[in-house]
Amino acid sequence: MSTSYEQLLDEAYAALPEKATHSGERFEIPKFDYFTEGMKTIIKNFAAVCEKIRRDKPLVSKFLAKELAVPLEEQGERLILQRKITSDVINRKLEDFVVRFVICKECKKPDTHIQELGHGVKQLICEACGARNAIRQ
Ligand SMILES: [Zn+2]
Distance 53 CA to ligand 1 centre (A): 15
Please state, rounded to an integer, the average pLDDT across all residues of the chain: 88
Distance 113 CA to ligand 1 centre (A): 11
Per-residue pLDDT of 42-84, as tens digits, reads 999 999 999 999 999 999 999 999 999 999 999 999 999 999 9
Against a cut of 0.85, is the pTM above it? no
Question: What pLDDT sits at residue 7?
Answer: 73
Distance 77 CA to ligand 1 centre (A): 30
CA-to-CA dists, residue 44 to 48, 50, 76, 136, angstroms: 9, 12, 10, 28
* Same-domain status, 34 and 95: yes
Answer whether residue 15 is part of any domain.
no
pLDDT at 20: 44
Domain assignment of residue 63, given as a range: 29-102
C-alpha of residue 100 to centroid of ligand 1, in Å: 13
**pLDDT for position 26:** 74
Q: Mapping DSSP to helix (H, G, I), strand (E, B) and coil, where does residue 20 land?
A: helix
Instruction: Judge if 47 and 87 occupy the same domain.
Output: yes
